[in-house]
Structure 1
């Protein structure tokens, strides 16, 4: 496989970009990543003309794939042709807000921002402002963007920043607990209940190999937060409008959080984030309340059009039936491959999310992030990923990021991918 142009591009990038990239995960592949020239349906074509089945889908935003349906493309192009942005409200942001409020059970009002990170940062600030409390409970291995309050590692007794540049005083207000560990959550509420503003969790951990909640776990979080006057925040940046269809993962689990953060699909592949929830809470955002939040590009009309056109197309067509059926076929086929060739490995996912976790013998299905971290992560990145690339399949760049099915993927893509797994494993 020729990759001369990608190598040249990476050499240039190293001179002007830190690590040669604009997001750290993109440099996970050694000795250098390939550079993408264009997308084509469920595929991408790199700078050297190599074509791959793409299961990364921009790390989740591309529900419809790279080739947008004509009606979706036309709606985006029309909005872009009317001017890039205005610094004033536009009708399309109201249209998208009404769509989300109509379909997501917990959302009565919503504020649009520009990224998942900005959404979770704003949600944490909002929870603190609404409750008058400081501490946030998070799940170890959960990812809520590049923000100071959640880039924290350790446990609730000894939290510390997981990145340089974050004062330890930020970490003091963050209480990490293992996902699916009810006893740990009870313990932090017993110790800090009067100062816990919120529990912040992904409905399904999506940045640690896909870890599902055990039966009753989310119901327990809903009950204990209610009992202590804290908020329950679901981070649906990954799962939103992918798991559970238009109702998002919360509808599939039957849980109504107080706040929900969104990103990725709600912007149709353009930069976006959002915070939605109970009206009395969301109205604490300025200008109707005392919690400051603002942004020049918030509610960007082209992004709002992309999100609205994408979700309306999904509502009016068989998008979720298609992607979920292919997801089921992938996971079923992968379970057969794994059972035959690597029986200790775990196939994880639901709806249009999937992943093979290289769990070690005797460890079982991962219940939390630590279980995934103890898997054969180096084998995934250093050997397996390259084997799949050699077979024209693009998977997420490490063991932890999940993979996604799009409306543009086909039965043939699934079959080709299963054959590649058979050979690579």
Structure 2
């Protein structure tokens, strides 16, 4: 494929932007990323005119694909034509809030912000303000935005900042434990339970290759936080309105968190974040309470229109049936391909998310009969159970360099755009077709 224009654009970008990008993950591909010119259904066209099946979808926000249905496009255009923004409340943000409260059982009140990072930052502040405690438990390797509380690595005994520019003293209030490890969580509460404001976790670990929870894990988190007077915060920035439909992943797992953070789909492809939860906790935000939170662009009318119309379209049409069916077909097809060509690897995902993790520890299972047919579910009876990733460290130990340096490029050459590293999710949209699935499975056969 010709990529001369993308190469020239990257050369220009390096002169005026750090690393040539405005978000670090975009530079993960070497020697340079391709620059997108436009989207078309479930595809993108790059700056050189090359066309790709797009399974990145803006890293998740585009549930409907790149072509917005007429009712969504019309409402976005109408709202934008009335004025960019006002710094004052609008009816559309009330409409959107009512829709979310109606469909997500745990959300009694909601506040819209401008990004997933802002949502989790505000949720952590609210949890600390509500409980009067300082410490936050997070999952090792989990990602909750570019904020000081969660840019932490190490373990519960030796947390440290994972980025320059963050004082060590900040990380002392964060307790990283492995996902799916009940014993580690019990130990953290045994040592610090009186000062733990909240446990913050994704219901499915989605920024580290898609790791499903062990059966009973979320029930355990709900019980231990209740026992110690701490809050349970679900980060549904990725899973919200994608896993479990309009009820989000928490409805699929039948868990009621105290607070939930949202992003991506809730804004219909425009910049957005949100915090929702129990009214008594949410009322802690100013001006009702004393936990400060504000933002010039919060509840932006164009974003609110895009998000609300996207969710309304999904509610009134076969969106979730379509994307989940294609996701299931992809994962089943990939499971067959991996069993034949790379039996050490693990297919992960659920609903409209999918990924192949290049797991490598130990020999492959001796038999793959009766394995999870459409993505790892942490089923103890599955022959892959002892080989599949249980936490972020397991994914990090996979062949991440091979995925990025060799496999991604081979898929690109076949016209398939995958997430830029081993850790990010891949997504299905309403704009994808059966033909896109078949083309992608054939590309995996060739690349693996």
TM-score, structure 2 normalization: 0.95
Aligned pairs (5 A) from 1:301-316? 301-316=301-316
SS of 1:310's partner is helix
Structure 2 equivalent of residue 87 of structure 1 = 87
- 1:240 correspondence with 2:240: yes
User: Residue 400 of structure 2 aligns with which residue?
Assistant: 377
CA distance in 1 between partners of 2:69 and 2:425 (Å): 25
Q: Cα deviation per residue 1:69-99 (whole Å; 9 max; x = unaligned)?
A: 0110001000000000000000000000000
> Which residue of structure 1 aligns with residue 211 of structure 2?
211
1:191-206 equivalences under 5 Å are 191-206=191-206
2:442 is matched with 419
For residue 410 of structure 2, the aligned residue among 378, 387, 394 is 387
Structural mapping, 1:306-385, within 5 Å? 306-362=306-362, 364-385=387-408
Query: Aligned residue for 1:106?
Result: 106
- Residue 173 (structure 1) aligns with: 173
1:56 and 2:56 correspond: yes
Q: 1 CA distance for matches of 2:271 and 2:308?
A: 14
* 1:255-293 alpha-carbon deviations (Å, 9 max, x no partner): 000000000000000000000000000010000000000
Secondary structure of the structure 1 residue equivalent to 2:281:
helix
Which residue of 1 is the match for residue 129 of structure 2?
Answer: 129
CA deviation vs aligned residue, 1:282-339 (integer Å, no higher than 9, x gap):
0100000000000000000000000000000000000000000000000000001000
Asked if 1:406 is matched to 2:429, the reply is: yes
Offset at residue 220 of structure 1 (A):
0.2
Secondary structure at 2:430's aligned position in 1?
A: coil
Structure 2: how far apart are the matches of 1:275 and 1:397?
28
Structure 1 position 353, deviation (Å): 0.4
Distance in 2 between the 1:140 and 1:350 partners?
22
State how far apart, in whole Å, the 1-side matches of 2:342 and 2:156 are.
Answer: 36
Task: Measure, in 2, the Cα distance between the counterparts of 1:127 and 1:13.
Answer: 40
Q: Residues 138-186 of structure 1, C-alpha deviation per residue, up to 9 Å, x if partnerless?
A: 0001110000000000001000000000011110000000000000000
* Residue matched to 1:397: 420
User: Please, which runs of 5 or more residues in structure 1 have no aligned partner?
Assistant: none
4+ runs deviating over 2 angstroms: none
For residues 75 and 118 of structure 2, the distance between their equivalents in structure 1, rounded to whole angstroms, comes to: 26
Note if 1:141 corresponds to 2:164.
no
Q: Counterparts of 1:25 and 1:275 in 2: how far apart (Å)? A: 25
In the alignment, is residue 158 of structure 1 matched against residue 158 of structure 2?
yes
C-alpha separation in 1, matches of 2:68 and 2:306: 10
Shift of 1:212: 0.5
Name the TM-score, length of structure 1 as normaliser.
1.00
**Structure 1 counterpart SS, 2:262:** strand
CA deviations over 1:197-243 (Å, ceiling 9, x no partner): 00000000001000000000000000000000000000000000000
What is the match of residue 378 of structure 2?
Answer: none
1:96 aligns with 2:119: no
Does 2:101 match 1:78?
Answer: no
CA separation in 1, counterparts of 2:112 and 2:274?
4
Counterpart position of 2:19: 19
What is the CA-CA distance between 1:361 and the residue it aligns to? Answer: 4.5
Q: For structure 2, list consecutive stretches of 5 or more residues without a partner in the other structure.
A: 363-385
- Report how many residues are paired: 425
Q: Residues of 1 paired with 2:190 and 2:407: CA distance?
A: 44
User: Which residue of structure 2 lines up, in the alignment, with residue 42 of structure 1?
Assistant: 42
Cα drift, residue 105 of structure 1: 1.1
Aligned twin of 1:294: 294
Match of 1:121, SS state, is helix
Secondary structure in 2 aligned to 1:256? coil
